[in-house]
Chain A
Amino acid sequence: MTDEYRDLGRARLENEEEFVDILEERRQSSDLGHALRTFSPHPYKGAQSCSTADLKKAVLESQYLHYIAKEIAAETGSSMEEVKEEACRILEEMSQNLQLKFIRLMGFTLTKVLKRLYSSIFVNMEGLNTLQQAVQENPVILMPNHRSYMDFLVISYILFTYDIPLPVIAAGIPLAGMKMVGEILRRSGAFFIRRAIGSDKLYWAVLSEYVRTVVKTGIAPLEFYVEGLRSRTLKSVMPKLGMMHMVMEPFFKGEVYDITLVPISISYDRVLEESLLAHELLGIPKPKESTTGLLKASKVLQEDYGSMHVNFGRPISVRHLCQGKINRCQYNLVPRDLPQKPSADVQACVSWVAHLMVKVQEEGYVIGPWALMACLLLQAPTRVLTEEGLLWQELTEKTLWVRKLALDFGARLNWPSGQGQSSDVMSSTVALHASVVYRKAGRVFLVQEEEPARERPISPEKEVIRTAAAVLMLASYRNQCLHIFVRPALLATAFHITKAAQKEELLAFFCFLRDVFSNEFIFIPGNSSQDFEEACSLLRKCGAVHVSEQEVTVSDAGLEVLSFLQALLQPFIDSYQVIFRYLCENQVHVFAEKQFLSAVRNLAKELILSGELLTYEALSSDTHKNVLSALQRLETVTKSRASEQNEYTVNKAAVRRINDILSGKIPPQMLPSTPDAKL
């Protein structure tokens, strides 16, 4: 099954001719004309005509909500009317109010903004054409990755331009709170979901019924981010399963014949929020979403952000995916409206699909030169970047080498071929990213933001943060291409640490690494041996290893590849070890998340200052959180709810064991198997 989908995204984009710049036409014709164009999409043929009001009514009057309301009324002692009123309020807060005239307004504004920000927006026409067909056949779920606020409406914008039914979009509630903007988004099809739903049963019920009703009635394609939130690191985020389950349930229950998932990969040359994100990762909180904040941010609108690629992936049939995985008869013996916990096979299947979708999204990314250059820049000691500068010549040569490696690994690159052009490409890339690096006298330096004059001289700690901000920006761009390298890189790391050649031993270590890092990089659950095979075959393909029945041995030419790959993961390993060390050495057994985050950051800061720790990436709160989740997953840290705060209890011995395996002191042991992610 998985193999079949492995190349779903990849197969299509071989030649870049397929991508069409949709801004080009906007630059040549009237924006107003575009906004007022006749919009005549071919909707889903089985769609029930259903207004926004009908939709709400259907949700509120659903048998499912009735059951839930009854339960809640019994539990809380309130009356059915009260519960239903509350449900109604939740629904009001949530629901979209898609109106074509607002799409036109949005389209008009967006054209202006997009033209200013981006030199081009490339869209694969073939993907759009397939989507246009798919939309008519079955209810469609659009599943873009989430890297920037920009991708929020850009899909609606493209669909509007190409006469494809406009989606309703799951959005975070903070957006709804923004004056005007919230309402505009709502009327552009956004529906709003609270961030921390937790155990609010009624909220879950209203939301899931709302989502299911949209899917069942097929009134519009549904768009949601399977990653749940915007990735702060431009790296894929562990998918959330709740929404995925809601979306697939109508198929499980036979309420629709099939559901079509359309992965959409949006890649940016340069992300609008780059510096904001880096600061957020360093614990400098992000400003609350507000309209004034947005206006203040308008200075970012003055800059050039290169181009954006929107790659509509091949539609995937849920029916096809679930074949043999789900026994749909399990819904035969109870009313389908009755609230029930999903069974283990359903949970596993939903989780598998969600992970698969992230993988397919990754395969659809169009990688620019900058991501590859960022890989190399990060492999140079930070001091070199800030003080001496990296030789331009060396960087460009090495980048070309990485480019070839990436191509061998099957990446799709946005890089015009031809040797002569390459240096121009790289020069302009660096120019585009003037906020991160600059070129001076044949060398490349890291940009460090200016501090107000009165704060000079800067304290060493401030200095660290200043550098870290730049490094983390760089790291984000590197992250855009990590998925290409990550499996071979895990194998390279296994080589590096175990020094083994036995396939079995390598596989064991590979699986260990994959397990430890599977909050960092997204792997499909249960696919570890396939991932290992993939790693072997990619390394063999580029001539780095010889693979025999029993052994994997490194070729002479392979050393360079392996050391590049291993260095790619080193910052992660270093960062994880810092945290493991903190957990083992720290006197406290029980801690709160906040306390943990700041303590770890301080420790990393100290270690960097003392020169013991080389990577500034250890300062990223994203990594800290990932470690915490990973350890929970591995059952070495347990979460308990004491008073208001989440508290964590750590099993130091277990953490130490993981750390020892990771540093090659003891051979990998079976870690507790990952329980199927809860929905």
Chain B
Amino acid sequence: MASNSSGGPDRQRIAQQRLRIITGHLQGRVDVDSTILAAECKAQGSQTDVSREEEKKTVPRRRQDIMKWNGWGYSDTKFLFNKKGQAEFTGKRYRLSGMIIPALKEWFEGTFGASMQHKSPATTMACFLSARLNSDAVQPPTLNEAFVEELKSTGIPFSHDAEDRVFRAHGHCLHEIFALREGKVGRVPDMVVWPNCHNDVVKIVELACKHNVCLIPYGGGTSVSSALECPPEETRCIVSVDTSQMNRILWIDEKNLTAHVEAGIVGQDLEQLLNESGYCTGHEPDSMEFSSLGGWVATRASGMKKNIYGNIEDLVVHVRMVTPQGVIEKSCQGPRTSTGPDIHHFIMGSEGTLGVVTEVTMKIRPMPEYQKYGSVVFPNFEQGVACLREVAKQRCAPASIRLMDNEQFKFGHALKPQVSSMFTSFLDGLKKFYITKFKGFDPDRLCVATLLFEGGREKVLQHEKQVYDIAAKFGGLAAGEDNGQRGYMLTFVIAYLRDLGMEYYVIGESFETSVPWDRVLDICRNVKARIIGECKDKGVQFQPLSTCRVTQTYDAGACVYFYFAFNYRGLSDPVHVYEQVEHAAREEILANGGSLSHHHGVGKLRKEWMREAVSKVGMGMLQSVKDYVDPKNIFGNRNLI
């Protein structure tokens, strides 16, 4: 219990190192206006002043101060169509920020049949809150007084402010965001607590057990499996355990290349802090700006660069989790053990049903010397998949290799920012001419693979050549770094784009699966066709966007990621239609040999298929673990089983 000992020489050294790191990292930022605080758990116990301590962090306690309450990401960042009707990305945070995206409007209108005239604006926060005051949109908290009293005495900050509670009552499923935009909320947590360290969590869990309070761990809030939804039937007081303040790197072990990190840290902070010391974890899920380490462990997350660094299960060396029965952890940091079933695998993917992950020791790597994006255009999706399969067979996949289908390629293309020079646009034109006219690729069939290489410069260049040589055998043409980089950008801005769509009657979502290689083409075709067919059956008036990419490769299969969106004008209950279509798409995935989930998790959204997915006995095993660890169902989010 290292984090317990206050003021040991080691800890002081670490604290100082951290101060250095934080200062460095804050200097790069614009909004520095706060004092810096030593990361000392005990010291904060007595501090209840909310405003003082959190400015330096990406995620403050009052998340609503910097993030949207009813959409994705930062409040200052969004897509909009400006007065000239051009798409624009606001803010300063991203490469694309502040830029005009000329082709987006045409793509948007063309793809969805949407129109700038038909807007579907969201309820504003002010409206929502006043509505709440008048009509109790948010139910008053059911507080367990005894619990609250004892919690107060521990000094752990908590709140039962409506905004705080509403913010932690949802993830980012379409139906959740849609409801918020309409100003509707269901059951929300009755209070929010912000533990500052492992011990705080231990106290909270003890109190919860003592007073029979329901706990729902909350990390980054990026869930897309309804995992954060409060079960409406829950009558106990629900307490959201927001781990965002547990965000320190406790130590870095340069001899073994591991780092011990508090589980509330979000991906971008973790990378940034490690980078200061010349390291990285290399774990980059698409949600890494906001998702937390604890969340990754609890859902079995996967990162874009897993080919080099591995998925979360490969990265984790040691985990601590606080459960109603006490703390579960291993006794050593041996890189592999044969000690019965790996208890980490009870923790990973437990989705908050067993406890709160508080600290994780994970592998780190020196920062890569060199990074290079790349892209390859294929005449059609089939050739592209064949190429990826070959790359996987030869086990020479770069850090990331993704194959986008034709629709997604066009989507990516529509996100090209305005080019400043005539020369660039001339070059683009030339490229396009070469590919479509000279090489004879059909613009409505071609697809593109985006690549990211990492490592030593020499090795990267060599590796790049190897991959391009394979691609050439499948009719692939190298299509430049720019296309590649834009492909990855798409995944970071897609959630912002969904918010834009929702302003104009377009709703959508993404979902994923993993599937053996021989089924990749079949599943892509069938699921996309199913989505289109279901939309038609359900009365959707416009052709939906139904697109996919092969986003990860493995020895025995691949991960496929689908985007699905449609214009819902003319539908009385668009979310219901949306849910039916997504349900049908999942059925189709399962019927085609795909998994229930590759990395999003099960939550409550996909629970109905769990038995089928893991067999009755498997369910029994999971259930008996739950029954032992949490007999009173303190961790009552009812995910998974």
Residues of chain A at the chain B interface (Cβ within 8 Å) = 46, 254-255, 257-258, 327-329, 331-332, 335-336
* Contact between chains at A257 and B525 (CB < 8 Å): yes
* Contact between chains at A254 and B523 (CB < 8 Å): yes
B367-375, B446-454, B479-487, B587-595 - interface stretch: B587-595
* Contact between chains at B590 and A257 (CB < 8 Å): no
Which chain A residues lie closer than 8 Å to B518 at the CB level? Answer: 335-336
Which chain B residues lie closer than 8 Å to A257 at the CB level? Answer: 525-526, 529-530
Which chain A residues lie closer than 8 Å to B523 at the CB level? Answer: 254
Determine how close the nearest CB of chain A comes to the CB of B586; give it in whole angstroms: 12
Q: Contacts A257-B526, A332-B593 known; list 12 others, CB within 8 Å.
A: A46-B525, A254-B522, A254-B526, A254-B591, A254-B592, A254-B593, A257-B525, A257-B530, A327-B591, A328-B592, A329-B593, A335-B518
In whole angstroms, how far apart are the Cα atoms of A46 and B381 in the complex? 12
* Contact between chains at A328 and B529 (CB < 8 Å): no
Q: A254-B523, A335-B518, A336-B518 are contacts. A329–B590 as well, Cβ < 8 Å?
A: yes
Contact with A along B455-471 (1 / 0, CB 8 A): 00000000000000000
Determine how close the nearest CB of chain A comes to the CB of B379; give it in whole angstroms: 12
> Which B248-262 residues have a C-beta within 8 angstroms of A?
none
Determine how close the nearest CB of chain A comes to the CB of B203; give it in whole angstroms: 46
Contact with A along B519-543 (1 / 0, CB 8 A): 1001101100110000000000000
A–B complex contacts, Cβ < 8 Å, 20 sampled: A46-B525, A254-B519, A254-B522, A254-B523, A254-B526, A254-B591, A254-B592, A254-B593, A257-B525, A257-B526, A257-B530, A258-B529, A327-B591, A328-B591, A328-B592, A329-B590, A331-B593, A335-B518, A336-B518, A336-B519
Which chain B residues lie closer than 8 Å to A335 at the CB level? Answer: 518
Chain B contact residues, majority secondary structure: helix
* Contact between chains at A329 and B530 (CB < 8 Å): no
Which chain B residues lie closer than 8 Å to A329 at the CB level? Answer: 590-591, 593, 612
Which chain B residues lie closer than 8 Å to A254 at the CB level? Answer: 519, 522-523, 526, 591-593
Determine how close the nearest CB of chain B comes to the CB of A409; give it in whole angstroms: 33
Determine how close the nearest CB of chain B comes to the CB of A100; give it in whole angstroms: 24
Which chain A residues lie closer than 8 Å to B592 at the CB level? Answer: 254, 328
Which chain A residues lie closer than 8 Å to B529 at the CB level? Answer: 257-258
Contact with A along B585-606 (1 / 0, CB 8 A): 0000011110000000000000
> Which B532-558 residues have a C-beta within 8 angstroms of A?
none
Which chain B residues lie closer than 8 Å to A46 at the CB level? Answer: 525
Residues of chain B at the chain A interface (Cβ within 8 Å) = 518-519, 522-523, 525-526, 529-530, 590-593, 612
In whole angstroms, how far apart are the Cα atoms of A328 and B591 in the complex? 5
In whole angstroms, how far apart are the Cα atoms of A327 and B523 in the complex? 16
In whole angstroms, how far apart are the Cα atoms of A335 and B557 in the complex? 13
Which chain A residues lie closer than 8 Å to B590 at the CB level? Answer: 329
Which chain B residues lie closer than 8 Å to A258 at the CB level? Answer: 529
In whole angstroms, how far apart are the Cα atoms of A332 and B591 in the complex? 8
Which chain B residues lie closer than 8 Å to A328 at the CB level? Answer: 591-592
Give the interface centre of A254, A255, A258, A331 by most chain B CB atoms within 10 Å.
Answer: A254
Closest B residue by C-beta to A255: B522
**7 A-B pairs with the lowest CB-CB distances in the bound complex, closest first:** A328-B591, A257-B529, A254-B592, A332-B593, A254-B522, A257-B526, A254-B526
Determine how close the nearest CB of chain B comes to the CB of A54; give it in whole angstroms: 14
Give the interface centre of A327, A328, A331, A335 by most chain B CB atoms within 10 Å.
Answer: A328
Which chain A residues lie closer than 8 Å to B530 at the CB level? Answer: 257
Which chain A residues lie closer than 8 Å to B612 at the CB level? Answer: 329
Determine how close the nearest CB of chain A comes to the CB of B595; give it in whole angstroms: 10
Closest A residue by C-beta to B528: A257
In whole angstroms, how far apart are the Cα atoms of A336 and B591 in the complex? 13
Closest B residue by C-beta to A258: B529
In whole angstroms, how far apart are the Cα atoms of A27 and B442 in the complex? 43
Which chain B residues lie closer than 8 Å to A331 at the CB level? Answer: 593
In whole angstroms, how far apart are the Cα atoms of A257 and B588 in the complex? 10
Determine how close the nearest CB of chain B comes to the CB of A193; give it in whole angstroms: 28
Closest A residue by C-beta to B594: A332
Which chain A residues lie closer than 8 Å to B522 at the CB level? Answer: 254-255
Determine how close the nearest CB of chain B comes to the CB of A406; give it in whole angstroms: 36
Determine how close the nearest CB of chain B comes to the CB of A4; give it in whole angstroms: 14
Which chain A residues lie closer than 8 Å to B519 at the CB level? Answer: 254, 336
In whole angstroms, how far apart are the Cα atoms of A181 and B602 in the complex? 62
Which chain B residues lie closer than 8 Å to A327 at the CB level? Answer: 591
Closest A residue by C-beta to B612: A329
In whole angstroms, how far apart are the Cα atoms of A329 and B591 in the complex? 5
Determine how close the nearest CB of chain A comes to the CB of B372; give it in whole angstroms: 35
In whole angstroms, how far apart are the Cα atoms of A335 and B518 in the complex? 9
In whole angstroms, how far apart are the Cα atoms of A507 and B102 in the complex? 72
Determine how close the nearest CB of chain B comes to the CB of A514; give it in whole angstroms: 34
In whole angstroms, how far apart are the Cα atoms of A379 and B72 in the complex? 80
Closest A residue by C-beta to B593: A332
Closest B residue by C-beta to A253: B522
Give the interface centre of B518, B525, B593 by most chain A CB atoms within 10 Å.
Answer: B593
In whole angstroms, how far apart are the Cα atoms of A255 and B530 in the complex? 14
Which chain B residues lie closer than 8 Å to A336 at the CB level? Answer: 518-519
In whole angstroms, how far apart are the Cα atoms of A331 and B519 in the complex? 11
In whole angstroms, how far apart are the Cα atoms of A655 and B519 in the complex? 52
Which chain A residues lie closer than 8 Å to B526 at the CB level? Answer: 254, 257
Which chain B residues lie closer than 8 Å to A332 at the CB level? Answer: 593
In whole angstroms, how far apart are the Cα atoms of A654 and B518 in the complex? 52
In whole angstroms, how far apart are the Cα atoms of A327 and B591 in the complex? 7
In whole angstroms, how far apart are the Cα atoms of A254 and B524 in the complex? 10
In whole angstroms, how far apart are the Cα atoms of A254 and B590 in the complex? 11
Determine how close the nearest CB of chain A comes to the CB of B581; give it in whole angstroms: 15
Give the interface centre of B525, B526, B530 by most chain A CB atoms within 10 Å.
Answer: B526
Determine how close the nearest CB of chain B comes to the CB of A343; give it in whole angstroms: 15
Determine how close the nearest CB of chain A comes to the CB of B533; give it in whole angstroms: 8
Determine how close the nearest CB of chain A comes to the CB of B359; give it in whole angstroms: 38
In whole angstroms, how far apart are the Cα atoms of A257 and B529 in the complex? 7
In whole angstroms, how far apart are the Cα atoms of A258 and B533 in the complex? 11
Which chain A residues lie closer than 8 Å to B593 at the CB level? Answer: 254, 329, 331-332
In whole angstroms, how far apart are the Cα atoms of A329 and B529 in the complex? 18
In whole angstroms, how far apart are the Cα atoms of A328 and B590 in the complex? 8
In whole angstroms, how far apart are the Cα atoms of A257 and B531 in the complex? 11
In whole angstroms, how far apart are the Cα atoms of A258 and B592 in the complex? 13
In whole angstroms, how far apart are the Cα atoms of A257 and B524 in the complex? 10
In whole angstroms, how far apart are the Cα atoms of A332 and B588 in the complex? 12
Closest B residue by C-beta to A137: B529
In whole angstroms, how far apart are the Cα atoms of A254 and B525 in the complex? 9
In whole angstroms, how far apart are the Cα atoms of A258 and B529 in the complex? 9
In whole angstroms, how far apart are the Cα atoms of A296 and B519 in the complex? 54
Determine how close the nearest CB of chain B comes to the CB of A549; give it in whole angstroms: 37
Closest A residue by C-beta to B380: A48
Which chain A residues lie closer than 8 Å to B591 at the CB level? Answer: 254, 327-329
Closest A residue by C-beta to B527: A257
In whole angstroms, how far apart are the Cα atoms of A327 and B587 in the complex? 11
Closest B residue by C-beta to A335: B518
Closest A residue by C-beta to B521: A255
Give the interface centre of B523, B530, B592 by most chain A CB atoms within 10 Å.
Answer: B592
Closest B residue by C-beta to A257: B529
Which chain A residues lie closer than 8 Å to B525 at the CB level? Answer: 46, 257
Determine how close the nearest CB of chain A comes to the CB of B381; give it in whole angstroms: 11
In whole angstroms, how far apart are the Cα atoms of A392 and B556 in the complex? 78
In whole angstroms, how far apart are the Cα atoms of A46 and B521 in the complex? 12
Determine how close the nearest CB of chain A comes to the CB of B319; give it in whole angstroms: 32
In whole angstroms, how far apart are the Cα atoms of A258 and B588 in the complex? 12
Determine how close the nearest CB of chain A comes to the CB of B574; give it in whole angstroms: 24
In whole angstroms, how far apart are the Cα atoms of A328 and B589 in the complex? 10
Determine how close the nearest CB of chain A comes to the CB of B443; give it in whole angstroms: 16
In whole angstroms, how far apart are the Cα atoms of A255 and B592 in the complex? 9
Determine how close the nearest CB of chain A comes to the CB of B584; give it in whole angstroms: 11
Determine how close the nearest CB of chain A comes to the CB of B12; give it in whole angstroms: 56
In whole angstroms, how far apart are the Cα atoms of A257 and B592 in the complex? 10
In whole angstroms, how far apart are the Cα atoms of A327 and B590 in the complex? 10
Determine how close the nearest CB of chain A comes to the CB of B55; give it in whole angstroms: 52
Determine how close the nearest CB of chain B comes to the CB of A338; give it in whole angstroms: 11
Determine how close the nearest CB of chain A comes to the CB of B85; give it in whole angstroms: 34
